[in-house]
Structure 1
Amino acid sequence: MKKAGASFVVKRIYDEPADDDGCRVLVDRLWPRGVSKERASLELWLKEVAPSPPLRQEFAHMQERFADFRAQYEAELEQNPAVGQLLELAAKHPRVTLLYGAKDPEVNHARVLQDYLQKMTS
């Protein structure tokens, strides 16, 4: 299911929603602290696409574990039916914003997911 032109971007859920966010999807398994459902302004909370709890706990957002985490999470994504839901959204929306709660804007699962989805749609 390839769709040229579909764009996935990542953004912290704590950042203000913007008009150019397109379809906003929370991709964390846990709801972020201090964010109301109204402020989140989501189209979908797709917790099923997040890393499995054991993988998330093993990674613990530690930069030195990121390469191993990336490989394991990509392997999980290969078997995850929720990826199909994101690809369907990309077919309907020119931009899908993947929202996450982690503090580090580079070392987090949403970046891995974005890269994975971009490969699938290009």
Structure 2
Amino acid sequence: MSVRVRRIYQSPEPEDGVRVLVDRLWPRGLSKEVAHVDEWPKGLTPSDELRRWFHAGGTYEEFTRRYEAELAAPAAADLLDGLRTSVREGPVTLLTASKTPDESHATVLARLLSG
């Protein structure tokens, strides 16, 4: 099945399938009714420390390495396995408020779920 990444501010589309918010914080200015989020597994989001490090000028390559290490922790790995089950059952759209979703944690998750 397919996994795609979209900004949460984009309108939902029928081909989104299960819509999963992968940000730790709820996006500003967006109601839950408008967002149409099906799941919000906060345990899959980057730690606050990692987020701060990346936004302070860390490289995307190093961010990816550190984030994958966080996802290998037992609690996160269990959540990731649950999301893999959703992917096998139908399309999944990972939603983020990131202005650059192609260089965000959502893209790292999409790659891990697709592989």
Same fold per superposition (TM over 0.5): yes
Q: Aligned match of 2:84 in 73, 81, 87?
A: 87
Q: CA deviation at 1:89?
A: 1.3
Structure (1 or 2) with the greater helix fraction: 2
Q: Aligned match of 2:109 in 100, 103, 113?
A: 113
On the 8 A contact 1:61/1:107 being kept in 2, the answer is no
| Sequence identity (%) | 43
The CA distance in 1 between the partners of 2:2 and 2:56, in whole Å, is: 25
TM-score, structure 1 length as denominator?
0.85
1:23 aligned onto 2:57: no
Q: State how many pairs are aligned.
A: 112
In terms of mean alpha carbon deviation, does 64-73 or 20-29 score higher? 64-73
Unaligned runs of 5+ in 1: 1-5
How large is the Cα RMSD of the aligned pairs?
1.4
Aligned match of 1:75: 69
Q: Which runs of 4+ in 1 moved over 3 A?
A: none
Q: CA deviation at 1:42?
A: 1.2
Unaligned runs of 5+ in 2: none
Alignment CA distance shift 1:106-1:61 (3 Å) = farther
Alignment CA distance shift 1:69-1:34 (3 Å) = same
The CA distance in 2 between the partners of 1:85 and 1:50, in whole Å, is: 14
The CA distance in 1 between the partners of 2:10 and 2:105, in whole Å, is: 17
Q: CA deviation at 1:61?
A: 7.4
Aligned match of 1:102: 98
Aligned residue for 1:69, secondary structure, equals helix
Aligned residue for 1:10, secondary structure, equals strand
